Structure 1
Amino acid sequence: MQSAYTWIFTTGIIVFFVVIVVLLFFTRSPIELPLSFNGDVEDIPSDSEINVAGLSEDARLSYERAKTWQEHHPPNSIPTDITPPQFVSIQEKGVSAFEFEGEPEANCFVAGRTEIQFMEGENCVQTNLPLPRNQDVYYWEAKMYDMPESTVVSVGVATKPFPSWRLPGWNRYSIGYFSNNGTKCFSTPFNSKPYGMPYKHGDVIGVGYKHRTGTIFFTKNGRKLEEAYSGLRWNLFPTIGANGPCQVHVNLGQMGFVFVEANVKKWGLAPSQGTLSPPPAYGTERDTVLLAMGTSNDATTVIDMTVPPPRPPPYENLLD
């Protein structure tokens, strides 16, 4: 009798493990791109010829041009670490040290450092400095200030250099959250995945970066979405792209965020005000000691700028 119970118990355990194995291997959906990524180029899925052939002629030419361009301009082709002078500039200016820069060939322009006006065609802009790595989280927001329904916007991050005619997420070393369908893309236009809701005129999209884990997450109108990707080990630059006319205003920390947690924990790219006082402006030295000259008895001569200098003698007196 006892042996029968033992046999039933053993059979039950075996059946249980078989069921678990079947569930693990046959019910999980295929994953095109893992959430975690270690930053190696080899781990980025290559685009199949079938996908590329399915593009329109203009899209295929743009894709192939950008792919060739990035082969000649990988992320390590130019220095992107924050240099000591740039670090001092951040301390002096605060968040004002960061600004978006439009490439000469891009059909867009930047006003007031953070107001981006896109024109016709596909274009993107990036900040002059990468996301820092001094605190745990960095965060910034982009408001769709003027955005027609026909324009697709992508908000995200990318390495530098990056092709200025491509949206972030469409090419290697970039991530984008797209307005038209709410999908996210990483390094290729062929692996878009459902992520959040689409966004339109008036919406505010935020981007957060946790450098210790290399994690990127997004927010929409102050609500945090799930983490998009992690394990990113490059120097990442805030990047915004659009395929048509629109206007985007960016808050890097110069004002309050819609995402309240970022305000409480001060997640901006830098303090709104610098911590180091700049050198005095020229001309403020009036009524102060401007020049101290050592004499034989080490006396100090003080020039008083409030007293006008004596007038020179008339010219005719010099002839006598």
Structure 2
Amino acid sequence: MQHLLDKLFHKGKATQSHHSDLSPPQWTPAVETTHEHGKYQDATFDEYEEAERFCARYRVEKPKLLLSNVVERLSQEGCKPWGIKYPASSRFEGRIESMMDKGGAGVIKIFTDKICKDVCLFSDLPIMAGLYDTKGKQGVYYEVVIRKMGGIIAIGSTCLPYPEWRFPGWNRLSVGLHLDDFRKFFEDPEGGREYESHGLLNKISSGDSIGFGYEFASRSVFFTYNGARLPTAFSGVYVPREKYDVYAAIGVEGQNEFEVNFGTDVFRWKEGNDWAWRVEGHVGNFAGSGSGREELPSYEEAL
């Protein structure tokens, strides 16, 4: 009986070999306890296997230059062009609203319905771009404010393409902090690792904020909770940085309401408001150009 339960509900370890281009970067495992199963619920084994087939079929996209009109918008509008793409999957039940269109601060509001199944939402622009410079930058950061969590929300990052029916952190080149059990994941299709937050992160209430940060010097991922920086979650991920375009990734399931802030509103983590951490200070600044304000050729023009 236990074997049957494991087959039905265990996310399972990867069993397929991938092309060498897709081999995961070396990362530093933390000392926290690892888990074979999720604390509250797991994805089905069929979904795990389909995700493995997806990753074997589609190679990770190579980093590319932004379109010239996007670079011009970044120069004129800062972080305002960042948004969340509406998913193509019928699993998503809800809506995505830009408050900028309504005269607000420019955050993106996301509402999901009770019948919404596991789905991953992606930013429409990378938060880390391999072909762009990091001179004078400490890292990149974005923040999510939870208004209601009746289901599950997971905050993280990924390279594309990524199976959109999988939460961030479950598959290749993806990191996630899952807010139902507060476990952290990096390419981990099982139960994740305990995230040592010194007792700060033990429940989610309306108005709480969770932030995602990547530090260039240490090549490490960290999270924040209500403005407090938590310990490093993973080190040595997305290495070498120049090889990857990395996007914000947010997993949702069930009834939730939250806001995504790429810098159009004030971050609760105060350091994130410094230029050294803002996404527009890195993305669009071509390596070797010495300036983040130059208009660049589009990817198609550069070929």
Query: Which TM class, normalised by the smaller chain length?
Result: 0.5 to 0.7
Pick which of 135-144 and 104-113 moved more.
Answer: 104-113
Q: 1 or 2 for the larger relative contact order (CA 8 Å, sep ≥6)?
A: 2
Separation in 1, partners of 2:274, 2:42: 48
Match of 1:231 in 2: 236
Q: 1:117 is aligned with what amino acid?
A: F
Does the C-alpha gap of structure 1 residues 89 and 199 become closer, same or farther in structure 2, counting only changes over 3 Å? Answer: farther
Structure 1 residue runs of 5 or longer lacking an equivalent are 1-38, 45-50, 277-320
Taking the TM superposition and a 5 Å limit, the aligned residue runs for 1:17-166 are 40-41=23-24, 59-76=44-61, 79-83=62-66, 85=68, 86-105=70-89, 106-107=91-92, 108-112=94-98, 114-119=108-113, 120-132=116-128, 133-134=133-134, 135-148=137-150, 151-166=151-166
Report the Cα offset of residue 223 of structure 1.
0.8
Separation in 1, partners of 2:213, 2:268: 13
**Is the contact between residue 80 and residue 160 of structure 1 (CA under 8 Å) also seen in structure 2?**
no
Report the Cα offset of residue 58 of structure 1.
6.2
Larger radius of gyration: 1
**Is the contact between residue 143 and residue 205 of structure 1 (CA under 8 Å) also seen in structure 2?**
yes
Match of 1:207 in 2: 212
Instruction: Please give the TM-score of this superposition, normalised by the length of structure 2.
Output: 0.66
Separation in 2, partners of 1:230, 1:96: 29
How many residue pairs get aligned? The number is 226
Separation in 2, partners of 1:57, 1:177: 15
Separation in 2, partners of 1:57, 1:181: 12
**Is the contact between residue 82 and residue 124 of structure 2 (CA under 8 Å) also seen in structure 1?**
yes
1:136-177 CA-to-partner distances (Å, cap 9, x unmatched) read: 2111100112211xx121101111111111110122211111
**Is the contact between residue 146 and residue 247 of structure 1 (CA under 8 Å) also seen in structure 2?**
yes
Q: Calculate percent identity across the aligned residue pairs.
A: 24
Structure 2 residue runs of 5 or longer lacking an equivalent are 1-21, 28-35, 99-106, 239-243, 285-291, 294-303
- Alpha-carbon RMSD across the aligned residues, in angstroms, is 3.0
Instruction: Please give the TM-score of this superposition, normalised by the length of structure 1.
Output: 0.63
- Please, which of 267, 272, 282 is the counterpart of residue 257 of structure 1? 267
Does the C-alpha gap of structure 1 residues 41 and 261 become closer, same or farther in structure 2, counting only changes over 3 Å? Answer: closer
